[in-house]
Amino acid sequence: MARDRPGRGPPAQTRALHRCPRRRHGDARHPDVPASQRRARARIRSERSGRSLAPAARHRLAASDSEASENAVVVDGGLTLARVLHVHGISATVYEADPTAQFRTQGGQLDIHEDDGQRALADADLTDEFRAIIHEGAEAARVLDQHGKLLFDAPDDGTARRPEVLRGDLRRILLDSLPDRTVQWGHRVTGVRPLGDGRHELTFADGATVTSSLLVGADGAWSKIRPLLSDAKPEYVGTTFIETYLFDADERHSATAETVGVGAMYALAPGKGIIAHREAGNILHTYVELNRSAEWIAAIDFTDAAAATARVAAEFDGWAPELTALITDGETAPVARMIHTLPDGHRWERVPGVTLLGDAAHLMPPSGDGANLAMFDGAELGKAIAALADDFETALTAYEEALFARTEPFYADAHEMLDLCLGDRAPFAFIDLFNGGPRPQNETQEQL
């Protein structure tokens, strides 16, 4: 694991606390997550936090158009790319499957890294807007054992240089920075086919079609665009995160709120963990992490919230009640997010007129890098296109060569971080990153 790779920003000790898996968005539209749950959680979270996303952008193309032609077309996401292109005077259309910006919750907090995410926002000319949405104090982190014993504590002293923001706030400032009708809401891609000469035709759920001169798949783990370039499919890594929320935490869940603290809390053991983060609006956002087979997860009926909660909580029998309350007192239905990955070092041969970014290109287990890499991908692609606007193929070739080299080391980092957090020596393997080496085996066993 390249813990001190030159140019990767703050020291390994700082990076590690924010790379242990604690959030996931690549599977947000996976069919195992019912749309009704996504809508309900988005509504509740918005009401409780007092935050909302920007109004939906108006359409550039009439939704009733049966056929249209566009130059740069981005599918699901890619807002950083669209913004960087706009900064350089190049228009693009983003086709979003969601019917509106408010349709679903955008996940939890993100730590924005200065060597990729913050650089991308600077390229998008959004540094001031980014600073305005920082959740001050959220970089604090602590590690506990299953009995609630504090094993490691790192307060937010302002030196970590990886400030936390809500994913929804980040999306809002990107949407607000784009011209009206850049984002086409309610356009779920159902098919795509090459037409030759780098052109592609997209078909949407309503039967409308559009033809692109440049197509960018930013559509995540289950990309509809990826098959144009690669036969690779996401594979389950054997770990599932179950997402829950507690609202009005200090007033209604004071013992748990005190245990979590002001930032991130990691309660880890071999094969399982409870990771929570305090978010703006007095919210505790939790991912319960379990190394379990796909069959074990499939046997739980997550449409029965009470039964699913009880089944997951049973895996933490004997844990401190202030920790298990993050499961049993959850105020939203638990949502299972099975963690998938593409093959390590995923790459493809150049195909004219199409490319990928973010999880569509390099899905890997969550380690705090995914959203930052996706934003950086978008910024780098936007700059490459701007520099060679009359030669898309040269721009895409340069972008992809840099993309493959840049992202390959992160696969090993992501798999190793998952093992440090949930492997046989958890939580001490994770803490070792801060204390300079492994503990003696007998000390590890005595404290478990």
Segment among 47-51, 67-71, 155-159, 299-303 with least mean pLDDT? 47-51
The pLDDT of residue 139: 80
pLDDT at 60 over 70: no
Judge whether 19 lies within some domain: yes
Total domains in the chain come to 1
Q: What is the CATH number of the domain that holds 411?
A: 3.50.50.60
Question: Rounded to whole angstroms, what are the CA distances from 65 to 43, 62, 70, 334, 444?
Answer: 31, 5, 13, 40, 64
The C-alpha angle with vertex 80 and arms to 76 and 81, in degrees rounded to 5, equals: 75
Structure tokens at 137: 């104090």
Q: How far apart are CA 82 and CA 79, in angstroms?
A: 5
CA distance 76 to 63: 16
CB-CB contact of 404 with 357 (8 Å)? no
pLDDT of 444 > 70? The answer is no
Is residue 435 situated within a structural domain? no
pTM: 0.83
Q: Summarize pLDDT for 247-306 with one digit per residue, the tens.
A: 999 999 999 999 999 999 999 999 999 999 999 889 999 999 999 999 999 999 999 999
Q: Is residue 124 part of a domain?
A: yes
| Residue 1 domain-assigned (yes or no) | no
Provide the pLDDT confidence category of residue 71 given band limits of 50, 70 and 90: low
Q: Would you state the pLDDT for residue 435?
A: 67
Q: What is the pLDDT of residues 79-122, one digit of tens each?
A: 999 999 999 999 999 999 999 888 877 667 888 999 999 999 99
Counting beta carbons within 10 angstroms of the beta carbon of residue 333, is it exposed (0 to 12), middle (13 to 18) or buried (19 or more)? buried
- pLDDT at 157 > cutoff 80: no
Q: Is residue 7 part of a domain?
A: no
Residue 214 lies in a domain: yes
Distance CA 401, CA 197 (A): 21
Range of the domain at 202: 12-425
Q: Any alpha helices (H) in 95-157, and if so which ranges? A: 117-123, 127-132
What is the C-alpha separation between 34 and 46, in angstroms, rounded? 19
Going by pLDDT thresholds of 50, 70 and 90, the confidence category of residue 69 is low
Is there a domain that residue 440 lies in?
no
In a domain, 63, yes or no: yes
